[in-house]
Structure 1
Amino acid sequence: MQRTIDNEKNPKKPVPATYSRTNPFPAKVLKNINLNGEGSNKETRHIELSLEGSGFSYIPGDTLGIAPSNDPELVAAILEEMKWDAEEIVTVGRQGESMPLKEALETYLDITLLSRKILQTAADFTDNEKLHNLVEDPAAVKEYCDGRDLLDMLRDFGPWKVPAQEIVALLRKMIPRLYSIASSLAAHPDEVHLTIGAVRYTAHGRERKGVCSVQCAERVQEGDTLPVFVQINKHFHLPETLDKDVIMVGPGTGIAPFRSFIEELAIKKATGRSWLFFGDQHEATDFLYQDELKKYQQDGILTKLDAAFSRDSDQKVYVQHKMLEHSKELFEWIDNGAYFYVCGDKDHMAKDVNEALLTLIEQEGGLDREAAEAYLKDMKTEGRYLRDVY
């Protein structure tokens, strides 16, 4: 991921720091815009970052990691609830790093997820009988942890007889968030683009916000920096030779890697055909990158574009329905060696797309279910059925 520096030719030139997951690069935000139209139920940010000076490179299919910061309002609520001193020095991590409590809560510790271990250990710091009873029941603990965070625990089970350091010691280090890269480096030298859907919902009487997605939506302005690193994704990339046909299924933010694919196909003058299935709620407000995609289609770079909008008709139409609509042609592409890609929601969409794929192989290939499953398994073995699901 890093370019090597030849210092023998210039021995006095210092070697720049090597940026990585453990030492993220402060990438300058060049652009941060909302892709959704007015009135949409969603907020999807298109973010462009500068990688100049990072030494990072990537290929379509790779991911970008962001080391996020917690919501300052949530941190302030925790400090207020516990009457803690924001400037108190605490120790975090295996290396025993010291920092002010507020900084630890904002940038280092995971304060949005609870676990059985956290609750069990916290029970030693309070006489609250509700917590002592709760930790005796694994099923109840699991139910309590779902959708709740550190502030909930502190509010629900006080009074607490414990210094801040003891609570800090319970918490895990915040992990980076990984996002599919939405740009081709060949098309945008020294830049990386992301497509991030802001996560907001209400649970247990409080509004909840995705740590990184809402940071990007609400608190990251153009000119700010985000700590980032590139993570290679060996199992999700374009064919080695760009004379192969590619079929891409990416509803919602699942479009991200396929924007990078299409940009790469354009810049490398690929001779293979390409077919994109995109889906979202409303065409008028949620057709992400619509103008770009239509232009690629007009220019012949994107051979086919089929979009499904689930809330624009009485019957909900999703990408898998569009696939089945075009099952004959889709099977012809696949049977002639096309690569099939899926990106997006693992629990529902990816399963529905897999089922639709089996159905059309069965119907159009004149196969029974067992033979269709064997056909799909062969595609996976050949590296022609690739999924980036989450």
Structure 2
Amino acid sequence: MNYAVAPNLAAPGLNAEKLALLAQGMEGLTAAQLYWVAAWSAGQAAQVQRSAPPAPSAAVPARAAAQLTIVYGSQTGNAKRVAEQLGRRCEAAGLPMRLLRADAYPQRELAQERHLVIVISTQGDGEPPDDARGLLEFITGKRAPKLPALRFAVLGLGDSSYPQFCVIGRQLDGRLAALGAKRFAAFGEADVEVGAVAGPWVEQALERARELLEQPGLPTRATRLHAVADHSGHSRERPFMAIVLANQRIVARDSGRDVRHVELSLEGSGLGYEPGDALGVWPVNPPALVQQWLDALRLDGTQVVTHQDRALALRQWLAQEREITRLNRPFITALAAASGDGGLARVLQPEHAAEFAALLASDQPIDLLRRHPATWQPEVLLAALRPLAPRLYSIASSPKAVGEEVHITVAVVGYEAYGSAHWGAASSLLAATGEDGRLPVFIEPNVRFRLPADGSRDIIMIGPGTGVAPFRGFVQERRESGASGRNWLFFGNRHFASDFLYQVEWQQALKDGSLDRIDLAFSRDNEQRTYVQHRLREQGAELHAWLKAGAYLYVCGDSSHMARDVQAALIDVIATHGNHSPDEAKAWLGELLQQGRYARDVY
């Protein structure tokens, strides 16, 4: 493929020789690799702009006052989808706009911005998405400019199963107002059922943007703006029923956990993926758990209940349509009101945030239903429950190695508590679906968790437990593509003998050279517990040398503890072996994140 530069394409400061070098460098790249180059270039440009002196006010383009800038920060793709939805609505309405990922937004332009929408998610317990960390630090930091001329709107996305629900969105909304900006739409908080809040919020923001930009004639909400050809095929909304090819337990019988390697066929689906992407699975709640609910509530599962213009048997609502394995604030609020329990209501108060967080971490909804009995009308119960949401699993394969298949690694949730069995929704479904069974799936791209386009770059992979899944795909991809860069894996779990996931494959990879090094941490094999962060510090000198030489760094796994502990260990390593202060080491790691050389897939 020839990437000759069009003669009328303006390229400031680039002579013919530089343009020729750029074209030569892009020769043979795939579409996905070209998109990666574009995103990386945008990140580099943002860094140059941040370090450049402020432009004089006379140089500010007039378009700043006559366009809407939409910026999104997204970890799993939800915020990106909402921002793109708003962007499409603006385009259809003829409103001038630009749509940017947060790490590509030129921060020096904020002072001249006039109309800004930010759509941003909150990850886990109060963490920003990785692509928005730089922008969040800038806006909340001392370098942020006063913004008296800015009109803005913020939509926060989150999961009310976590105590710090939408906290990043609230921080940005409050900070922009403190800098003198004025809201043109109220702050929005979208739970896992994103569309219920995001849809109306987008329409409101669009209408207000039209008024601000003085663009008359916006079609009403009921008007069909224009027909768009649908080439999406299978998607989150229209999942593919994939055949299960293999469902194998990959821990020993005496392991305290059940971890499965599941292989599914994508043949005929039209779905494609790259290592680093996720597989979405639409779950069904375990029948035994549904029966527990009906027993605890003394309700008839065969009763037909109408909710949001749909009529289904209550048992079907609970099995297929409602979230009944995860606690969240709206459900606890409704239960406190229905039961009249003052103690439960007290936990919801801000001064009891620690107790609330502990409750979310330890209990499922069935536990609260039993402890705080109440009389429920089925319609009220359904209104109090969130819709059942898909679960995302990091893909553990490369299509170059497995063809039209996709592999995932699943830790099955199942345990005894309060004298009763407890289950997870998707993991129980996956564990129970044998070969030739079918599962509703879709691909969730993760463009920030990609292998380097340059196969000569070294990579460092940190993935304890099932966090090792994407790195199986990474190693497969590097082997099949003939990448010359070195591959270093840090893996940890409880016991070497029973919990060494994919042990035989890693040993073979070491033997055939597709894995250059593996460092292991099995926390329960010794009296003193050892985790991957300890191995990082032990190998700090070599780790730092790889990073200094240009290696890419990847982390996958639990966000609540592991990701923070690994982050702290990496900062220690950089500070110790790079002769930096902790703040300098943190900033250096942040630069790697902005450059795309440090990527995290945490959940």
Q: TM-score, normalised by structure 2?
A: 0.58
1:28 aligns with 2:243: yes
- Structure-1 separation of matches of 2:274 and 2:539: 30
* CA apart distance, 1:34: 0.8
Q: How many aligned positions are there?
A: 369
Corresponding residue to 1:39 among 254, 257, 268 = 254
CA–CA distance in structure 2, aligned partners of residues 43 and 317 of structure 1: 22
1:339-365 deviation per Cα after TM superposition (whole angstroms, max 9, x unaligned): 011111122222222222222222222
What is the DSSP-based 3-state SS (H/G/I as helix, E as strand, rest coil) of the residue aligned with 2:401?
A: coil
Q: Distance in 2 between matches of 1:246 and 1:119?
A: 44
2-structure distance, mates of 1:207, 1:298? 43
Structure with max Cα Rg: 2
Aligned to 2:403: 189
The answer as to whether partners of 2:289 and 2:422 remain within 8 angstroms in 1 is no
Match of 2:212 in 1: none
Q: Find 2:447's aligned residue among 234, 237, 250.
A: 234
C-alpha contact (below 8 Å) 1:245/1:338 kept by paired residues: yes
Aligned CA distance change for structure 1 residues 265 and 73 (closer, same or farther; 3 Å): same
Q: Residue 365 of structure 1: which of 563, 566, 578 is its match?
A: 578
Matched, 1:84 2:304: no
1:67 to 2:277 alignment: no
Offset, 1:123: 6.0
1:212 aligns with 2:422: no
Match of 2:459 in 1: 246
Deviations 1:229-284 (A, max 9, x none): 10011111101121110000101101000001001001111111110111111111
2-structure distance, mates of 1:236, 1:272: 17
SS of the residue corresponding to residue 254 of structure 2 reads: coil
Deviates more, 1:322-331 or 1:33-42: 322-331
Q: Which structure carries more relative contact order (alpha carbon 8 Å, separation 6+)?
A: 1
Match of 2:533 in 1: 320
Q: Which has the higher helix share?
A: 2
Show CA shifts across 1:204-232 (max 9, x none). Answer: 44332222123322x22111111111001
Q: Does 1:267 align with 2:480?
A: yes
Aligned equivalents of 1:105, 1:282: Cα separation in 2: 37
Percent identity (aligned): 41
Residue in 2 that maps onto 1:221: 434
Distance change >3 Å, CA 120–CA 298, structure 1 → 2: closer
2:589 alignment partner, one of 371, 376, 386: 376
Query: Mapping of 1:109-128 within 5 angstroms?
Result: 109-122=322-335, 128=339
What pairs up with 1:280-319 in 2 under 5 angstroms? 280-319=493-532
User: Which is worse superposed, 192-201 or 202-211?
Assistant: 202-211
After alignment, is 369-378 or 252-261 more displaced? 369-378
Structure 1 vs Structure 2 CA RMSD: 2.3
Distance of aligned partners of 1:146 and 1:187 in 2 relative to their CA distance in 1, 3 Å threshold = closer
SS in 2 for 1:187: helix
Unmatched runs of 5 consecutive residues or more in structure 1: 1-14
Q: Cα 1:334–1:158, aligned 2, differ >3 Å: closer, same or farther? A: closer
CA gap 1:356/1:100 in 2 versus in 1, 3 angstroms: same
Q: Deviation of residue 119 (structure 1)?
A: 4.4
Per-residue CA deviations over 1:167-204 (Å, capped at 9, x if unaligned) read 22221101111110001011111111000112234444
Q: Evaluate the alpha carbon distance shift between residue 73 and residue 325 of structure 1 in structure 2; reply closer, same or farther with a 3 A threshold.
A: same
User: CA, structure 1 residues 121+39, in 2 after alignment: closer, same or farther (shift >3 Å)?
Assistant: closer
1:144 Cα deviation from its structure 2 partner: 5.7
Aligned counterpart, 2:566: 353
